[in-house]
Amino acid sequence: MTFFLRKLIMEDIERNAQEEHSNKFNKDFIFYILSILGLLIYVGTNLYISYIADYKLFVWHPILMAIMILISTQGTIVLQKAVKKQEKARSLFFHKLMQIISLICLIIGFVVIYYNKSIKGSTHYKTYHAKIGLIAFIVYIIQLITGLALTFFPSLLGGISKSKKYYKHHRLTGYINLSLIWLSAITSTRANWVTKHFNQHWIWTFSIGLIIIGVIGRINFNKIKICNIKCNFSSFVNFTQYIPIYSQKNQTNQTNSDILLE
């Protein structure tokens, strides 16, 4: 798993180097770094809280859910900018592996919190965190089943060629499910157990903000469009105009081109 992750990161670095060689600023690579940084801060903070808290059965719930969030988000990110056939194949394998592992963490984490509440006689699904988490759990299972059907049993959908038209719906549902997962994660930061051990709320805002910017910035909306509207978030803003070194490069290149044309 570490090997595949390292390989995918190196591919992003190589792609960034190629873009720099052609005097273009790779915004996708920056968005990737932002999302990874946000994930590490969020998950690291969760694990830190679980470490300093008194050991109870409940502690395994935030630990497993933090790992699930890390893996499922990373499993989505790796597919966003896969272009070459070989790159797509590796990214798809990593995506399937990550989603299966994250589902295992999700199921165990769900069982832990359900059992913990049952033995204490607490009410189930009382908070927004619990309700949103349950919805995300159900959608996750449905999403995984449809993903497996598209990959391994395309004949159920009329064959490989016909099943491909459902890819964009699978991607869109995946982003919706990821949004539900993170919405549940956001509401969890206001839980009594969390605020009791950690009151630096800006950490949650900062880390989740980085993840949202990073993930949305890498989305190719044309791959999930269900209408004829064409857009691509990563092309809305040309960050190179705000970076003097790249702006100077572009001006120099333009001047050289004008000289050659003369």
CATH of the domain at 99: 1.20.120.1770
Domain ranges, residue 125: 27-223
Give the C-alpha separation, 184 to 199, whole Å.
18
What's residue 10's pLDDT? Answer: 65
- Give the count of domains, the chain: 1
Q: What is the pLDDT of residue 3?
A: 57
pLDDT confidence of residue 240: 43
Q: Is residue 241 part of a domain?
A: no
Q: How confident is the model at residue 111 (pLDDT cuts 50, 70, 90)?
A: very high
Task: Give domain status of residue 251, yes or no.
Answer: no
Closest CA to 133 of 182, 75, 67, 100: 182
| Mean pLDDT for all residues in the chain | 81
Tell me the per-residue pLDDT of 167-200, one tens digit each, with 9 for 90 and over.
Answer: 888 889 999 999 999 999 999 999 999 999 998 9
Task: Tell whether 252 is covered by a domain.
Answer: no
Confidence of residue 62 (pLDDT cuts 50, 70, 90): very high
Query: Half-sphere exposure of residue 209, counting CA atoms within 13 Å on the CB side?
Result: 6
Residues 116-139 have pLDDT tens digits of 999 988 888 999 999 999 999 999
- Residue 187 falls within a domain, yes or no? yes
Please indicate, yes or no, if residue 10 is contained in any of the structural domains. Answer: no
Residue type, 68: M
Compute the chain's Rg from CA coordinates.
21
| Structural domain contains residue 162 | yes
pLDDT score recorded for residue 216: 92
**Is 232 among the domain residues?**
no
Whether the pTM exceeds 0.85: the reply is no
Task: Please report the pLDDT score of residue 13 as a whole number.
Answer: 60
Residue 22 confidence (pLDDT): 45
Task: Judge whether 229 lies within some domain.
Answer: no
